[in-house]
Amino acid sequence: MGIGGASRPDRARLLSAHDELTAWIGQALGVVPDDPAPFVRALTHSSHASGQAGDSYERLEFLGDRVLGLVMAEWLWETFPDEPEGQLSRRFNALVTGAVCAEVARGIGATAHVRLGKQARDDGAQHGDNLLGDVMEALLGALYRTAGLDAARAAVRRLWADRIHAGDSAPQHPKSALQEWAAANRRAVPAYSIVDRSGPGHAPRFTVKVAVGKDELTAEGTSKQEAETAAAKALLTQLKAQVPVAKRRRR
């Protein structure tokens, strides 16, 4: 009786957690799954998995990245019929970054459902752009596998709706903008280098330096790409602010 009495609360808790996750998936992604197992995998970091490739989100993230790319490319092609390929590419690159995917994941409350090993959770990995961006793509992969492309398309268009029309013109990636500014002002080509890498494997921190001639600046990020982007954006702002001063000196 003692064993049976102990098992009932455990079973009740498991059923409650199952129902809670299923309800969250339905609210977040628009489809209530018959089997939440693929979504559980999409929320499972390798630090929590058993070691088998299919037990963590990595394979689903690989698939979801391609699903997001296809859906976003199709959506942009339909939404901006008069824009050339270059402008569509700018919009696309700005909308599918890991940082944007992480923002979407936070917006649907994915952080509370991410499954991590104790050390990774203690390190705060569940809050990082790298992990949350991967989780968002993995969730789209799970949605595609369980409900099909139409369901994935509907989810992306709803979750990215406020972003696709942001700004009147196609956004430009900070690294491209810095390179174009340097060329237009007859400056050296921007050069990037990693200054430091710290933190555990599941929650790394990169410090990157960008230099345009003698002007340089460092920035941090949870990935090399994120740090380079932050550094390029900051240096471009700094260089543009210097231009009026230089013109006044020449007068």
156 neighbors 48 (Cβ within 8 angstroms): no
Q: Please give the Cα distance from 43 to 119 (Å, whole number).
A: 17
Write down the catalytic residue from 61, 129, 137, 228. 137
Write down the catalytic residue from 65, 129, 226, 228. 65
- What are the CB-based long-range contacts (under 8 Å, 24+) for 116-119? 116/45, 116/47, 116/48, 116/202, 117/45, 117/47, 117/48, 119/47, 119/200
Q: Please give the Cα distance from 202 to 247 (Å, whole number).
A: 47
Amino acid letter, 245: V
Residue among 200, 225, 227, 205 nearest 46 (CA): 200
Question: Annotated catalytic, 180?
Answer: no
Question: Annotated catalytic, 137?
Answer: yes
Query: Catalytic residues, which ones?
Result: 65, 137
